[in-house]
Structure 1
Amino acid sequence: MNGSQSTDITSNPFLAPMSSIRAIAAGLSLIAVARSMSGAAGSSEGPGLCLAGASGSRTGSPPRLIRLADVPGYEPHRVNDMLLLCPTEAQSRHGSDTEAAEEGSQHVVFFPGDIQNFQEEMILQAEGAQWQCWSLERVALILGRRFPSRHIWVVRASRMYLHKFSCYHNFVESNLFGAPEHSPDYGAFRHLRALLRHGMEQAGLLPPATMFPPLGFSLALVGFSKGCVVLNQMVYEMAGAQEDPELAPFLGSLKDMYWLDGGHPGGSETWVTDRRALQELVASGIALHAHVTPYEVRDPMRAWVGREHRRFVRTLEELGAHLTNTLHFEDEPASIDNHFRVIQEF
């Protein structure tokens, strides 16, 4: 499948690209994923009990998941695979008249962490298989429950070093292991804007050559673990984006940013602590949300993570930010299970 095509692999899994044949043979179509998640609710098997409460829709109909390959971004060499979960009709009808009028205009973009990949890829790796309940498909379904009536976009990391270290080098300068080197203008906002525009066109949500962002468009960004490096890079680019006539409308559509237990293999800059950058973030008026667990912020071997998180929160509070800060599983031992579970608890 080339970059100009989309495949609705829920409605017809036999149209999946050749790379999906192994998944089909193993019975891993997205319909099966959704049903297995619903059927396993309350199961005690698998890391983190991530199947609980993650069924497809309130009516029992399967969700519509579309996989988009090689979606072009800001520059020709910047492409990403994406997964789109479209709200069901029942979810779209749920809510106020205002929400109904904005149907199709509300979007959530999720940046996953290490090891997270498409289901078919994770099951082939011994280390990935044990965490497959946090695959991109299953996380999309979880987020669909968290944000009903919105379109959910999951951006696959453009490189997975050793099949487990996610690298977002299309959004931020990164080493092989995905540790970032932040700068004020790497093009993260431009890349995301281009990804969403082309992704919406390929999925039939936006006519070609239409103004972008369209009227009423609103956006929330969610980064989990390694995926938080993308949000951090955007914080450093905030000042430049606000002054750019092309990016300013896109930035104005950004309503919420969620950091979920941020972490990466570098020795610093897990959380943004630069006061000037955080001032620009606060001035944007975006609602900010930090959700952490002891796995990241109370690890004595990586004490800087907790220190940076506290400084991030303290500085934003001093600057008057619209901020919520939550420590999950505070009374439980730090564990990677709970690290992943923050995805369904935030």
Structure 2
Amino acid sequence: MMEQRVASVTSDEQSPLRLRRVFGFKGRVNDTLFHPATVRVAPQQLLVYFGGDIQDYPEIMEAHHENCKYVKWNLENVAKMLRNNFPTKHILIVRPSRIEYKSFSCYDNFVPSNNAGVPEHTPTHNALQHLERLIKSVGERLKDVSSPPPPSLPEESQPEQPNKYSCSSPDGASTSRADRAGSLGDARTAPSESPVSWDKLSLEGSRVTLVGFSKGCVVLNQMLYEFHYTSTLTPSDSKALRFINRIEAMYWLDGGHAGGKNTWITARGLLETLSRLDMTIYVHVSPYQVRDESRPWIGREEKAFSTLLKTFRARIHRYMHGRSKSPHSLDMHFEVLANFKQVQDLDPRQQDSSDEEI
């Protein structure tokens, strides 16, 4: 079993910039968080992250009587973690357009979803166009901010009343706010200020990496439908094809949602189209999802997804996290997010699609 480093980020690190109501395709808007790269490279690189259920701004998670137990996994901490793990990439966190009951992430702007965030995939929902325009709008907004810009708060995140609930850690122990907020990311330290000048940021032509964690993987799944739609039905759409060609890697991190199917894409045509693109595919899973006896379809679908991509000779790297006999807890699920980059760095050529543990 490979040794894993548990990541940590100190609370005094520079916080990501919050950009509210960023416009994308035909009036669709998303709140975003942005952190510039800490290492200068050309062409510039961008990592776009789609998070899972309960992941939100820290003050919103802190005020929730259940989600406060997991507040260290808030979107700001994730941005810092990704910044440290991928120093050459700008980090863009896309907040869901709707979070039902402050818990269920619904990515309606990318894929039609019900109130639990379960997707209804379609050949096209203009998710590619929305993401491309969202990135362009973020770049335009960044040119207008000061250097370095002050953090901004969304309207719904005004100072809240002190939490009236008693918030305990998942093991039942009472914790302080500081302990709960905690930190995550890589143990490596990052510069307090980015060497990239704000007025020289150029996202429009950047190389793009897409990362989905848990529920956020529904966005990546919808992208597969739209890759296929664009390649087969609208091959003359040169703008969409150029954007697809900018995507160099996709990360599925322990994907899951409350629906009874389509947690992982298994359609041969869609996966064959994906395999023909010049992308590297990373799959990180844990027993929490793929060995859940109450949801056996998740494991079956993921196996088909990974096996077919390997059959089609796609560049796929698959990693199984955790031990089968360990409790299948939400903590196990989040540890995939905390450790996926360190695991890859320890074994960068892993391509085994079996269920070997690491």
TM-score by length of 1: 0.76
* Aligned partner letter, 1:321: A
Q: In structure 2, what is the equivalent of residue 179 of structure 1?
A: 118
- 1:172 Cα deviation after fit: 0.2
- 1:64 Cα deviation after fit: 5.0
Choose from 276, 287, 293 the match for 2:286.
293
2:67 matched to 1:128?
yes
- Distance in 1, matches of 2:303 and 2:8, equals 31
Q: In structure 2, what is the equivalent of residue 338 of structure 1?
A: 332
2:78 matched to 1:85?
no
2:217 matched to 1:223?
no
Q: In structure 1, what is the equivalent of residue 192 of structure 2?
A: none
* Aligned partner letter, 2:106: C
* Aligned partner letter, 2:121: H
* Aligned partner letter, 2:333: H
- 1:63 Cα deviation after fit: 2.7
What's the CA shift string for 1:315-344, capped at 9, x where partnerless?
A: 111111100011101353321101011112
What's the CA shift string for 1:270-319, capped at 9, x where partnerless?
A: 00000000011011121001000000000000000000000001111111
- 1:246 Cα deviation after fit: 1.2
- Distance in 1, matches of 2:99 and 2:276, equals 35
SS in 1 for 2:66: helix
Choose from 197, 204, 228 the match for 1:213.
204
The answer to whether the Cα contact below 8 Å between 2:127 and 2:222 also exists between their aligned partners in 1 is yes
Q: Equivalent pairs: percent with the same residue?
A: 40
Q: Unaligned regions of 5+ residues in structure 1, if any?
A: 1-48, 94-99
Choose from 169, 176, 187 the match for 2:108.
169
- Distance in 2, matches of 1:231 and 1:159, equals 18
Choose from 4, 8, 22 the match for 1:53.
8
Q: 1:221-300 maps to which residues of 2 (within 5 A)?
A: 221-242=210-231, 243=235, 244-300=237-293
The answer to whether the Cα contact below 8 Å between 2:257 and 2:263 also exists between their aligned partners in 1 is yes
The answer to whether the Cα contact below 8 Å between 1:213 and 1:250 also exists between their aligned partners in 2 is no
- 1:65 Cα deviation after fit: 1.5
What's the CA shift string for 1:107-159, capped at 9, x where partnerless?
A: 00000000000111111111121111000000111111111121111110110
Q: In structure 1, what is the equivalent of residue 305 of structure 2?
A: 312
Counting matched residue pairs gives 277
- 1:62 Cα deviation after fit: 3.1
Q: In structure 1, what is the equivalent of residue 42 of structure 2?
A: 101
- 1:206 Cα deviation after fit: 7.6
Choose from 70, 74, 78 the match for 1:139.
78
- 1:75 Cα deviation after fit: 1.4
TM-score by length of 2: 0.74
With over 3 angstroms needed to count, the CA separation of the structure-2 counterparts of 1:337 and 1:345, relative to structure 1, is same
* Aligned partner letter, 1:92: V
The answer to whether the Cα contact below 8 Å between 1:241 and 1:251 also exists between their aligned partners in 2 is no
- 1:203 Cα deviation after fit: 1.2
